[in-house]
Structure 1
Amino acid sequence: MPLFALEGLSPTVHPDAFVAPTATLVGDVRVEEGASIWYNAVLRADLGPIVVRAGANVQDGSVLHGGDDPVTEIGEGATIGHLCVVHGAVIGARAVVGNGSTVQDGARIGEGAMVAAGSTVTPNSELPADRLMLGSAAKERGELTEQARWWVRTNPDFYRALARRHADGVTPA
């Protein structure tokens, strides 16, 4: 796993976290217990720190970049789907950012909320807890469906188990 110090600040990864061998972490990045950073994800903390809280997952090809806020934070058990960009934003505990979405500087996504796939969350937007946001520019669309609530609730454990499989079973072929 490529870890790079920048200006004296190095990534820290909890021993029980999973970082895929092709993920890249640069600078002031902290990955907590049970979190997972998947293949080809890039976490670049050169403008501000990035914290990936316990049990959160940053999926394949996503980019997290620290911004002007004090910290770019992915909350406990939160999911950043495949090919997302999160730039200088705060994602609440157990929130889901759907595949291919962009969350821009200063945005705040509430606990258990969902940003639908392909959405663009504009700077300084706020999404309350347990709500759905979608579109480009993304707008709040109401409460989560029961199916979406199930996904928000079960996704952290699914990705923890999947990360264990990869940590134990992935080898060069």
Structure 2
Amino acid sequence: MNIYSYHGIRPVIKPSAYIHPQAVIIGHVEIGEEVYIGPQAVIRGDWGKILIKDGANVQENCTLHVFPNIETILEESAHIGHGAIIHSAHIGKNCLVGMNAVVMDKAVIGDECIIGALAFVPAYFKSEDRKLIVGSPAKVIRDVSDEMISWKTKGTQLYQELAREAKEAILPCEPLSEFKEQSPSKIVDYNIWQDVK
């Protein structure tokens, strides 16, 4: 794993978290239980603290960083989509940050919000709980429905399950040289897309 101290401050990672070997974790970072950190994610706690609470996930190619005297916080079950950037911001419980979205300094996102893909959330932006936030610059366009939160929660549960199983399920291997039928040892069998509006 690519885990580094910064001036003697070492990351703290709970045993049930999964950190992909190609992720980079530096300095003052605390990672909770059943957190999933994907390949090429960079979590750089050099100038301040980054706190990733239980059940959150940070997917491939995400960047989390922090300015001095500010914290970057992902509350429980925060879901940070592929390629997103969180910079000195506070993401509420059970939020979704869409793919390639950017959330800037001292933004505070309420619980159970959804930030759309490619959104740019400017510094000092604040939102109440359960808001749908989209655009560049981002704005609140409506409330998040019960159906949307149910869909989001099920998606995050997939990543929590992945964190639980990944140490034994994601293994280096040599590729096959011919196409052949392969069956996974485990099938994810529920449809998270049903009833989404």
Instruction: Give the Cα separation in 1 of the matches to 2:76 and 2:14.
Output: 14
SS state at 1:77 partner? coil
Percent identical among aligned pairs is 31
Shift of 1:69: 5.0
Instruction: Give the Cα separation in 2 of the matches to 1:142 and 1:36.
Output: 29
Amino acid at match of 1:15: P
Shift of 1:164: 2.6
Q: 1:167 to 1:107 in 2, by over 3 A?
A: same
Instruction: Give the Cα separation in 1 of the matches to 2:158 and 2:3.
Output: 26
> Which structure has the larger Rg?
2
In structure 2, the partner of 1:28 is: 28
Q: Is the 8 A contact 1:68 1:105 kept in 2?
A: no
Instruction: Give the Cα separation in 2 of the matches to 1:136 and 1:167.
Output: 38
Cα distance per residue 1:71-119 (max 9 Å; x no partner): 1100101101000000000000101100110000010111000101110
In structure 2, the partner of 1:99 is: 99
In structure 1, the partner of 2:77 is: 77
SS state at 1:50 partner? strand
Shift of 1:151: 2.3
Task: Kindly report which structure 2 residues correspond to 1:13-162, keeping only aligned pairs within 5 A, or say none.
Answer: 13-162=13-162
Judge which range, 89-98 or 159-168, deviates more.
159-168
Which sections of structure 1, spanning at least 5 residues, go unmatched?
Answer: none
Q: CA RMSD in A?
A: 1.2
Normalization by structure 1: what TM-score? 0.95
Judge which range, 138-147 or 1-10, deviates more.
138-147
Cα distance per residue 1:26-84 (max 9 Å; x no partner): 01001011111111100001121000000000011100001245311001011010000
- Structure 1 segments (4+ residues) deviating >6 Å: none
In structure 1, the partner of 2:186 is: none
Shift of 1:127: 1.5
More strand as a share of residues: 1
Normalization by structure 2: what TM-score? 0.84
Amino acid at match of 1:54: D
SS state at 2:25 partner? strand
Q: Is the 8 A contact 2:57 2:159 kept in 1?
A: yes
Shift of 1:150: 1.8
